[in-house]
Structure 1
Amino acid sequence: MHPFVNIAVKAARHAGRAIMRYQEKLDTLSIGEKSPLDLVTAADLRAEEIIIETLHTAYPDHDIIAEESGHHERKAEYTWLIDPIDGTFNFSHGFPYFCISIACLHKGKVEHAVIFNPNNDDLFTATRGNGAKKNDQRIRISSRIKLEGALIASGLAASARDKRELFEAVQSSLSESSCILRHSGAAALDLAYTASGQLDGFWEMGLKPWDIAAGALLVKEAGGIVSEFNGGEHYLQSGKILAANPKLIKPLAQKVNRIIV
């Protein structure tokens, strides 16, 4: 395992333990105590603090871009993208589908990825050119070639809620092709499970770079294709992303691109 990945795994596991302690507090919250929103915010901030501290201790000259605290700029060759809790709404409801997402970029290109699901300890790792793993076992993307019967995940990011009608039109079109649709609320984890073949594909719009950087590398290293709806490669900038195997992504892209340009 690459040293950068080792450090990111250490950070993710430590943050994961902290998050689950906050989850226990949410489960036992009673009237008159802190609101669930207060605890969720505290969990997000504490997890991010742990990750930043771990990364800065190991690599003090690296840049860090984090969802909650923004850009810790050092104008370095390496930049870390951090989402301390992807799937915050799920976390706030005690629904066990959220994760920690950490990606390392070298001169703008994603080189290393770690996604950790603290609910079941699923750990996904990847280094560019060295494949992707789940719990230290190599993973491959699904081999399904038709939309019929394909399990496709998606979501409606907060920044894309004004496009709800377009989202629903795409979902309706996919449903007409006999896709099985899932809207689970954690894009990074959806991408990780797409990489491992547990989901057949994924699409979403309105996402931020920290939502998708790690998951996109996992999918690519597992043999999949990641692109914008029109086939472009600037999904980190546009927030529009498709992920599937090389054969399934074509009909998936046609369905999405027919409705959303």
Structure 2
Amino acid sequence: MADVTDNLIDLCGRLRDAVLPALGTHAARAHTGVAVGGDITFGIDEQAEALLAQHMRERLPGWAFYSEDGGLHGAREPEYVLIVDPIDGTRPAAAGFESACVSIAAVPASEAPTMGDVVAGVVQEIKSGALFVAERGAGFSMRRADGPAIPFRPTPREDVESMFWSLGFRGRPAVILARVLEELIDASSVGGSVFDIGSAAYGVTRILTGQLDAYVDIGPAIIAAHPWAEAEFRRVGRGAVLCNSPYDVAATYLLCR
């Protein structure tokens, strides 16, 4: 399993190196297409996806990978399938903010892998280089780019009024989302705080560092409870429902197990 994890760390590092110089540039914000999941592909996404395809072809030809923009590619009978978001937090990355990560998870190849099949997950902050690594059955580690460990400091906070938490408005109808979360937002916005930081991987890993208490994506639950709302999600998402997908949270799921 260590070899699998090492491969994920190597790929994370290469993707980070490829996009780091583009953070905050105007070229990073250019719209270059539409991803498989329906989101806009930005210039910085295209750069990362090209490096991902090259890396897999040259270094891991016996594996397959699924990415946000490119879908499923690689070996026809792979040993492992990687679930990759080369830039989780494309919009913060394009703006030059720190809340953007590379997120990669590995699952043994099967007909229908689930979250429970993830055997390794790696998240790396693009701007700082901080690395979060998890192996199933072997725990997890967090370290800064220069080597020192990042302390595991989950908050002991239990009251909603002082909660620091994150949500995401991208692709979600603002009025519907705010209406559902109204009481939680109002209760915590003064004694605590609510943030839209633009990256699920960054938000969830902040729970491990103690910077945030929770990450909330209630979009799928809204649609499940109120099917009529799907039309509004598709309106805002330009035809697609843009809630979090496995490539957004597969690695962080293992980190938090």
| Fold equivalence (TM over 0.5) | yes
> For this pair of structures, how many residues does the alignment match?
210
Residue in structure 1 matched with residue 14 of structure 2 by the alignment = 14
Residue in structure 2 matched with residue 188 of structure 1 by the alignment = 201
Deviations 1:47-103 (A, max 9, x none): 223234334444322221011111115243521111111111112222232111111
Residue in structure 2 matched with residue 59 of structure 1 by the alignment = 60
SS in 2 for 1:113: strand
Residue in structure 2 matched with residue 213 of structure 1 by the alignment = 250
| Superposed displacement of residue 169, structure 1 | 2.1
For structure 1, the residue ranges without an aligned partner over 5 or more in a row are 221-261
Alignment TM-score, normalising by the size of structure 2: 0.72
For structure 2, the residue ranges without an aligned partner over 5 or more in a row are 33-40, 220-242
- Please say if residues 7 and 55 of structure 1, whose CA atoms lie closer than 8 Å, have aligned partners that are also in contact: no
SS in 2 for 1:177: helix
The alignment-based identity, stated in percent, is 25
Task: Provide closer, same or farther for how the CA distance between residues 57 and 139 of structure 1 changes in structure 2, counting only shifts above 3 A.
Answer: farther
Spell out the pairing of 1:97-136 with structure 2 (5 A cutoff). 97-106=99-108, 107=110, 108=113, 109-135=117-143
- Please say if residues 132 and 139 of structure 1, whose CA atoms lie closer than 8 Å, have aligned partners that are also in contact: no
Spell out the pairing of 1:71-86 with structure 2 (5 A cutoff). 71-72=72-73, 74-76=76-78, 78-86=80-88
Q: Which has the higher contact order (CA 8 A, sep 6+)?
A: 2
1:169 counterpart (174, 179, 182): 179
- Please say if residues 62 and 79 of structure 1, whose CA atoms lie closer than 8 Å, have aligned partners that are also in contact: yes
Residue in structure 1 matched with residue 231 of structure 2 by the alignment = none
Spell out the pairing of 1:215-254 with structure 2 (5 A cutoff). 215-220=252-257
Task: Provide closer, same or farther for how the CA distance between residues 114 and 52 of structure 1 changes in structure 2, counting only shifts above 3 A.
Answer: farther
| Superposed displacement of residue 133, structure 1 | 1.6
SS in 2 for 1:148: helix
SS in 1 for 2:210: coil
Task: Provide closer, same or farther for how the CA distance between residues 128 and 85 of structure 1 changes in structure 2, counting only shifts above 3 A.
Answer: same
C-alpha distance in 1, partners of 2:54/2:154? Answer: 33
Residue in structure 1 matched with residue 5 of structure 2 by the alignment = 5
* More deviation, 102-111/70-79: 70-79
Aligned CA-pair RMSD = 2.5
Counterpart code for 2:47: R
Alignment TM-score, normalising by the size of structure 1: 0.71
| Superposed displacement of residue 139, structure 1 | 2.9
